[in-house]
Amino acid sequence: MTEQLQSDFDKIIKTSDFSEKEIQSKKSFLNKFIESGFPNRKQEDWKFLDISQIIKKNIGELSFFNDNSLPNKIDPSIFVDGLEHNKIIFINGRIEKIDFNYEDKDKIEINDEIEKKISFDYKNSLIDLNRALTIKVFKISVKKNYSLKKPLIIYHSTNDKISSKNVNLRLDFELEENSSLRLIDYFGKSLDKNFINILYNFNLKNYSILKNYKIDKFKNNNVKYSFNNIQQNSNSVSETFILSAGSDYFKNEVNCNLNGEYSSAFINGIFSLKENQQHEIRTTINHLVENTKSYQLIKSVLGKNSKSAYQGRIFVNSKAQKTDGYQLSKAILLDETSEFNAKPELEIYADDVKCSHGSASGSLNENSIFYLMSRGLNYQQSKELLINGFLLDVVEKITDSEIKNLIKNIIGLKE
């Protein structure tokens, strides 16, 4: 793999116009990645699902160079109906279109000449890989006191022009004071058997609000990894919702630093997995100052041979008194071959805090099924009703009613 990576990297450097400084920094990230390789189960954070094995099994040998010189045709059929929205369209890892038609032009700034620093320490070779191979990094800033009128949907898709087996994406967002952004990541039509590596950085200034919804619904056999790094100043709010259902493998990581007082972070997730799927969510919430709040709710419904894992960590600094942290993960195992793993972790250094977590897993309650069947539903219907009710609980946590309805439609949940 290393040889392929090295030669593809050289091609990327040759076909792009990086400055000497940038090339050096990219080289150092590449070397860091080569040194540690893909993460495997020996690393604590990758204990439950071993991505290096999964890539080997599902994709085989990776290649990294994609010819991005020609534009791709945008297929409008991928767009979400029934919701007016702004668009960013990624095809094969290249941004084809950025469209903020519904917004005031001077309130949104798009910049690709940015300093590509990351504001937190990480030990994650996939981020190194991303930083080594991403060609263009856009930064989208929402100006002070501006709330986007319509949500922004980011379309992720691949088509048959793609020549690599790996796609790296990165976007940076800055929400200035008192601004707000609703962001939907939409994984639409895609080619099979790619490894997609996504990195988002969010910088939330005072009183700003970010809502991020990740929708991976349609069956595909790609391997996906997504990392959200969220930095929050005081009184900011972040809400993340993850629907993890379509890909063969999907790991979502959210790292959230609550740097300012009265900031809060909410992360909710649904795993709805069938045959042979393996998904994971890992959340890290760092409560660093007083009076911050976080809440996580993750629910899984697991079919045949599927496996889900949730690793949630709440860290409370000794300065972060009056922290309120809560975390709950629940799973329904539908088949004897399904598996649920959880590692809910608390690390607390302050005494005046309210932190708790819970985790429960088991099968559908036979008594409830019996109750429904005695009222005339058949077994399958009763089962579905119970599962829908179980998942609806998470969807109801979405604070934006427009998007809540969209997601309900996508999942096929009815009230």
Contact set with another protein (CB under 8 A)? 44, 318-319, 321, 331, 333-363
Closer residue to another protein, CB minimum distance, 246 or 344: 344
From the centroid of its chain, how far is CA 413? 22
| Amino acid at position 319, single letter | K
DSSP class of residue 52? Answer: H
Closer residue to another protein, CB minimum distance, 15 or 53: 53
- Minimum Å gap between C-beta 274 and another protein is 14
- Minimum Å gap between C-beta 123 and another protein is 15
Residue-wise burial string across 225-262, b where 16 or more C-beta atoms lie within 10 A, e elsewhere: bbbbbbbbbbbbbbbbbbbbbbbbbbbbbbbbbbbbbb
Closer residue to another protein, CB minimum distance, 87 or 251: 251
Q: Report whether 93 contacts 66 (CB < 8 A).
A: yes
Closer residue to another protein, CB minimum distance, 175 or 331: 331
DSSP class of residue 143? Answer: P
- Minimum Å gap between C-beta 193 and another protein is 28
**DSSP assignment string, 53-114:** HHHHHHT-S-------SSPPPP-GGGSPSSS--EEEEEETTEEEEEE-TTS-GGGEEEESS-
Measured between alpha carbons, how far is 407 from 63 in angstroms, rounded to an integer? 34
Number of neighbours of residue 390 by Cβ within 10 angstroms: 17
- Minimum Å gap between C-beta 268 and another protein is 19
- Minimum Å gap between C-beta 356 and another protein is 4
Measured between alpha carbons, how far is 224 from 300 in angstroms, rounded to an integer? 18
Kindly give the residue spans of alpha helices, DSSP state H, lying in 354-414.
366-374, 379-395, 401-411
- Minimum Å gap between C-beta 306 and another protein is 11
Closer residue to another protein, CB minimum distance, 32 or 357: 357
- Minimum Å gap between C-beta 362 and another protein is 4
Closer residue to another protein, CB minimum distance, 45 or 400: 45
Nearest to 251, CA basis, from 212, 214, 223: 223
- Minimum Å gap between C-beta 315 and another protein is 9
Measured between alpha carbons, how far is 353 from 254 in angstroms, rounded to an integer? 22
| Amino acid at position 121, single letter | D
Q: Report whether 303 contacts 335 (CB < 8 A).
A: yes
Closer residue to another protein, CB minimum distance, 36 or 305: 305
Closer residue to another protein, CB minimum distance, 193 or 322: 322
- Minimum Å gap between C-beta 32 and another protein is 23
Closer residue to another protein, CB minimum distance, 50 or 239: 50
